[in-house]
Each structure stands twice: as structure tokens, then as C-alpha cells.
Chains A and B, each alone.
Chain A
């Protein structure tokens, strides 16, 4: 099964710096990965996704990297802004439609 945990890692970055948020997974059958952002009082909001046949995908100010060998997913945010402060969840899905959220990382941007 998937590794889970209740501890919420926290990342504090200075405004303008780059942020890197990491997510590890254990199910090698996962073939679709998504990063979500959750602001206080709101539902998770889609940021970017990547399929297992890719190792990198870029969006606006965000890049997702997938390393299937070590089962690791990362989200890079360039020039972090105060509006990026939120909890970031990685979400992984297998071809059998099993949906799993990672525990989340709280990003705090220091003005």
C-alpha cells in the first residue's frame, strides 16, 4: 500500500526565491501525478500534472519533475510570491483508478 503520514512538513522561503516541494510514493503502479494547492478554507486547486511517460513538465512559474526510479515527485515554484503560501498536495493515481493524496507540505512565503 501507500506510505502515509500525519506530520505536515513546513517550508519557509523568502519572496522571490525558488521553492521546491517534494513527494515520495511507494506504489510503482502509479502512472498519473498531480500537484494541488490548497489555500485556507478552500478546496484543492489543480496546479500541474504529469504522466509516467514523462520526467519533466513545465507550466507558468511551476515545474514538476518525476523520478520513477526512486519514486519521487517534486514541484518547483520559481520566484515565489506571497500568494503561493498554501498547503501543497501531491496526488497519484494508478491505472485502476485508485486515488491517493500525499500528506501535504505547508509553504510559507516571507515577504
Chain B
């Protein structure tokens, strides 16, 4: 069964550094998402992406965040200048039209 894959599984970075989290969505999906989950808390929506543009974003997704689909297979989340409070699990998801989201297993981001 096709699945969403995310790399790396764990990323450690220093405060102020840029990080890029990578995702390969399911190949025939058209909608792409990033969520995050701070330890012990619920899964929070960050951004949705369709037709090469952001379709919706949350208040968490400020100017420090950006997403890109650089080619036909990858979907990336960039954090320009990481803060301690960016430490969380970041989940990528994809879906077809009107279908449930399929999630990857996440990247654990630790900002020190």
C-alpha cells in the first residue's frame, strides 16, 4: 500500500538555524498538508497546499514558515530561523479529492 514518507525521522538544530523537512506524498494525491504535534498535545494544522499554492494556513504558519513542491514528488516545509518552541513532531499528509488524509510517520524536530 502506498504511503507518505518523511525524512529525516529526527532533526536536531540550534536556535536560529534554518531547517527543511522533507516529505514524499502518495503519488496520485493532489492535496498536501503539514501538521505539527508538540509533545503531549493535539495535532495542529499548519498549512494545506493544492495546485502549487497554499490553500489555507493557520496562525501558527507565520513568515518563518514556507512550503514548496520543488518537483513532482517532494513537498517540503522550511523554517527559516528556528525557535525553541518549534520543537515538535511535524507530520506531512496527502489526500485525493474528498478523501481522508494519509499521514507520514513524522519528523521529530528538536531545537536546542
Contact = CB atoms under 8 A, between A and B. Distances in A.
Contact of A97 (B41, B56, B100, B104): B56
B103 A44 contact: yes
Nearest to A103: B42
A24 interface: no
B27 interface: no
Contacts of B75: none
B42 A42 contact: no
A97 B102 CA distance: 15
Interface string A50-91: 000000000000000000000000000000000000000101
B32 interface: no
B18 interface: no
Given A42-B105, A43-B91, A44-B91, A100 B100 contact: no
Given A42-B106, A43-B105, A97 B55 contact: yes
Contact of B43 (A41, A42, A89): A89
A6 B45 contact: no
Interface string B87-108: 0000101000010111111100
Contacts of B101: 34, 44, 46, 91, 99
Interface in B49-88: 55-56
A4 B41 CA distance: 11
Contacts of B41: 6
Interface of B: 4, 33, 35, 40-45, 48, 55-56, 91, 93, 98, 100-106
20 contacts: A4-B42, A6-B40, A8-B40, A32-B98, A41-B105, A43-B91, A44-B101, A46-B100, A46-B102, A49-B100, A97-B55, A98-B56, A99-B33, A99-B45, A100-B45, A101-B35, A101-B42, A101-B43, A101-B45, A102-B42
Given A49-B100, A97-B48, 7 more contacts: A8-B40, A43-B104, A46-B101, A89-B42, A97-B55, A97-B56, A103-B42
